[in-house]
Every structure is written in C-alpha cells, then in structure tokens.
Amino acid sequence: MPVPILKQSGVLIATIQAALTDHDLVQLKDDLAEKVGRFRAHGVVIDVTALDVMDSFATRTLRMIAETTRLRGAVTVIVGIQPDVAMAMVQLGLLLDGISTALDLEEGLELDLATEIGFSGSELTIVATAISEVARNIITYAVRGEIILSTLHQGGRRAIVVIARDSGPGIPDIEQAMRDGFSTGKSLGLGLPGSKRLMDEFEIVSEPGKGTIVTMKKWARSR
Ligand SMILES: Nc1ncnc2c1ncn2[C@@H]1O[C@H](COP(=O)(O)OP(=O)(O)O)[C@@H](O)[C@H]1O
Ligand SMILES: [Mg+2]
C-alpha cells in the first residue's frame, strides 16, 4: 500500500498508516525524491506513529530519504516514534542519525555519524542515553507518547534535536523532578537531571493533567 504524501506550504507530509513492505518503503523514497524536486519543498515530515517496529531496512531507507532530501536543500523530520520503539532502536545500535533516521549496524554507527553530523562515538553514546531516559519516562509515567528527531544547522554547526512528548499525567513540581535522586517511581531519580547534564540544551514543559514535553539539543563539536 503506497504511503500518501500531502503538500502543505512547502512541506511534504508522509503519513505511514501501517506496517510497510520493503517495496512500499523504496517507493516512498522515490516518491519523496521526485516530489521534493517538483514542488521545491523545504521540508519533509514522515509520521511513523503507526509503526510498532522499525527494523534495520526501514531505518536505512528513512536515512536515505533524509540524505536525498538534504542534497536538495530540504530538511527531514521524523515524528511519532513510539518510546518503546526508540528504546529498542537505541539498544540495537540503530540510533537515529539526527537528520531523521537510524543507521544500520553493519554500516558502522560511529564512522557514519561522525562524518554526517560530526559526532564522536562518545557523543553518540551520550545522545542515545538521553533518548533512552526520556523514552523510559514516557513508558513508565505517561504510558504513551512520541519521540521526534531532527537536526538543526546554525552558524555552520549542526545539532541533533530530540523532542519527547506525551499527554500523560504531567509533572506537578518540575524543580523537584529535576533534583538528583527524586523519584515517584522508586527508581534512581537520575533520568531528567542526568539527561540535562548529558545534553547541551535541555528544556522541560509540563502541565498536570495535560502532559510533558522535553526538548534537548546536542551540538557537534566544531572542528
Ligand atoms: N513524562 C513524564 N510524565 C510524568 N512524570 C514524569 C515524566 N518524566 C518524569 N516524571 C517524573 O519526574 C520524576 C523524575 O524522573 P527521572 O529523573 O527520570 O527519575 P526516575 O524516572 O528514576 O524517577 C519521576 O519519578 C516522575 O515523577
Ligand atoms: Mg526516569
């Protein structure tokens, strides 16, 4: 089943409705490449909310889409990654490469990302750890939510942007939640303060009854 692609003021939005065959994925890649050129799109949004599993072929195809799109001067954003999918990907080493997508293990996570975004292996581990922490919080406290990944170019530098968003119970006292060792879940209480230390920028917005949004950025060291 082909993936419908919507055009909205210069942005192409592809919403994946159900599990895709490898053939569907390749067709999505070709469709997007053609449409980005034809409509001179400046952005591509791929919504993967409906996907319960992201295997290495899917992640690699998404990465190829992001690369093709970038060559044409547009940005790719992947939205709706389920927190448990994000955690599984991190554990498999299929870390999203910042633009949008994950890397295949055999392609060499560190090498590829280092050249693409400018992250060292240890910086990658740091980003993966922070993604894992916020994904775990969504699963534990909010049950459902999503992780959004994209990259940012500013003044010749690149950053990975991670947004973790849920409509769970929210956090009544953020200052308290950000304290080392504070936990309502009988765990270490280091996820939020630890992620803040690991990343370069960290922002948390939460409203009881409405949900929580954590936004984190990690800049590649300029060299
Ligand atoms: N997405 C979330 N929704 C609701 N509460 C959250 C969320 N993330 C964190 N919290 C609250 O903040 C506290 C601190 O989180 P964290 O630093 O990750 O430590 P831990 O998960 O070990 O308790 C949690 O115990 C929980 O009360
Ligand atoms: Mg936690």
Do residues 51 and 143 share a domain? no
Q: What is the pLDDT of residue 117?
A: 62
Query: Which atom from ligand 1 is nearest to the alpha carbon of 188?
Result: 22
Identify which of 214, 44, 57 has the alpha carbon closest to the alpha carbon of residue 145: 214
Size of the chain in residues: 223
**116 in a structural domain:** no
Q: Which domain holds residue 207?
A: 121-219
Where among 110, 132, 167 does a domain terminate? 110
192 vs 180: CA distance, rounded Å: 8
> Near ion ligand 2, which residues have CB within 5 Å?
137, 191
Q: How many other C-beta atoms lie within 10 A of the C-beta of residue 167?
A: 16
Residues with Cβ within 6 A of ligand 1?
133, 137-138, 141-142, 166, 168-171, 177, 182-185, 187-193, 212
Do residues 19 and 105 share a domain? yes
Query: Which atom from ligand 1 is nearest to the alpha carbon of 169?
Result: 4
pTM of the model: 0.75
Do residues 206 and 137 share a domain? yes
If one residue of 167, 171, 207 were mutated to test the ligand 1 pocket, choosing by the most ligand atoms within 8 A of its CB, it would be 171
Q: What is the pLDDT of residue 112?
A: 42
Tell me the three state secondary structure of residue 43: strand
Reading the chain (223 residues) residue by residue, the pLDDT tens digits are 789 999 987 889 899 888 888 899 899 999 999 999 999 888 888 888 888 888 778 887 887 887 788 787 777 788 888 888 888 777 766 655 544 333 322 333 333 444 456 677 778 778 888 988 998 999 899 988 988 877 777 777 878 888 999 999 999 999 999 999 999 998 999 999 999 999 999 999 999 999 999 999 998 875 5
